[in-house]
A and B are shown apart, each in its own frame.
Chain A
Amino acid sequence: MKHLVSGLALSVALAVPAIAQETKVIGVSIPAATHGWAGGMNYFAQAAIDRLEEAYPELDFVLATASDPGKQVNDIEDMVATRNIDALVVLPFESEPLTGPVQNVKASGAWITVVDRGLSVPGIEDLYVAGDNPGFGSVSGEYMASAMPDGGKIVVLRGIPTTIDNERVEGFEAAIEGKNIEVIGMEHGNWNRDDSFTVMQDFLSKHPQIDAVWASDDDMAVGVLAAIEAAGRDDVKFVLGGAGMKEMVKRVMDGDTMIPANVTYPPSMIATAIEITAVGLVSQAPVSGQFIIGSVLVTPENAADFYYPDSPF
Chain B
Amino acid sequence: MTVKPQARPKVSMSVIGPIAALIVLIVMGALMNPNFLGVDNISNVLSRSAFIGIIAVGMTFVITAGGLDLSVGSMAAFVAGLMILVMNAALPSLGVGVPIILLGMATALVAGLVAGWLNGFLITVLGIEAFIVTLGSMGIYRSLVTWLADGGTLSLDFGLRTFYQPVFYGGILGVSWPIIVFAVVVIVGEIAMRSSVFGRHCAAIGSNDQVAKYSSVRVGRVRMATYVILGLLVGVATIMYVPRLGSASSSTGVLWELEAIAAVIIGGTLLKGGFGRVWGTVIGVLILTLIGNILNLTDFVSPYLNGAIQGLIIVLAVVLQRESKPGV
Q: Which residues of A contact B (CB under 8 A)?
A: 32-36, 38-40, 42-43, 158, 161, 185-188, 192-194, 197-199, 201-206, 219, 222-223, 226, 230-231, 247, 311-313
Contacts and interface: CB of A to CB of B under 8 A. Distances in A.
B251 A205 contact: no
Interface string B138-181: 00000000100111110100000000000001000000000000
Nearest to A35: B251
Nearest to B41: A205
Given A311-B152, A312-B149, 19 more contacts: A33-B150, A33-B151, A36-B153, A36-B249, A39-B149, A40-B151, A161-B303, A186-B303, A188-B303, A198-B296, A201-B44, A202-B41, A202-B293, A205-B33, A205-B35, A205-B41, A222-B245, A226-B245, A312-B150
Interface residues of B, number: 32
B50 to A, nearest CB: 13
Interface in B213-254: 244-245, 247, 249-252, 254
B304 A161 contact: yes
27 contacts: A33-B150, A33-B151, A33-B250, A34-B250, A39-B149, A39-B152, A39-B249, A161-B303, A161-B304, A187-B296, A188-B306, A193-B249, A193-B251, A194-B245, A198-B292, A201-B48, A202-B41, A202-B44, A204-B40, A205-B38, A205-B40, A219-B153, A226-B245, A230-B169, A311-B152, A312-B149, A313-B152
B245 A202 contact: no
Contacts of B40: 204-205, 231
Contacts of A194: 245, 251-252
A34 B251 contact: yes
A193 B41 CA distance: 19
Contacts of A158: 303
Contact of A43 (B150, B153, B245, B247): B150
A36 B146 CA distance: 10
B251 A192 contact: yes
Interface of B: 33, 35-36, 38, 40-41, 44, 48, 146, 149-153, 155, 169, 244-245, 247, 249-252, 254, 292-293, 296-297, 299, 303-304, 306
Shortest 6 CB-CB contacts between residues of A and residues of B: A312-B152, A33-B151, A39-B151, A202-B296, A39-B152, A205-B41
Contacts of B252: 194
A226 B244 contact: yes
A70 B84 CA distance: 33
A197 B244 contact: yes
A12 to B, nearest CB: 41
Contact of B150 (A39, A197, A219): A39
A2 B58 CA distance: 60
Of the listed residues A40, A158, A205, the one surrounded by the most CB atoms of chain B closer than 10 A to its CB is A205
For chain A, what secondary structure do more than half of its interface residues adopt (helix, strand, loop), or is it mixed? helix
B123 to A, nearest CB: 25
Given A35-B251, A194-B252, A247 B155 contact: yes
A148 B299 CA distance: 26
Given A197-B245, A205-B297, A38 B151 contact: yes
A312 B151 contact: yes
Contacts of A186: 303
Given A193-B247, A198-B292, A206 B33 contact: yes
B304 to A, nearest CB: 6
Nearest to B153: A36
A42 B151 contact: yes
Nearest to B146: A33
Nearest to A40: B152
A279 B155 CA distance: 38
A35 B142 CA distance: 12
A179 to B, nearest CB: 22
B48 A198 contact: yes
Contacts of A247: 155
Nearest to B147: A33
Nearest to A46: B151
A110 to B, nearest CB: 27
Contacts of A205: 33, 35-36, 38, 40-41, 44, 297
B323 to A, nearest CB: 35
A78 B33 CA distance: 54
A247 B249 CA distance: 15
A202 B152 contact: no
Of the listed residues B33, B44, B254, the one surrounded by the most CB atoms of chain A closer than 10 A to its CB is B44
A199 B44 CA distance: 11
A36 B296 contact: no
A206 B296 CA distance: 9
B292 to A, nearest CB: 7
Nearest to A218: B153
Contact of A206 (B35, B149, B292): B35
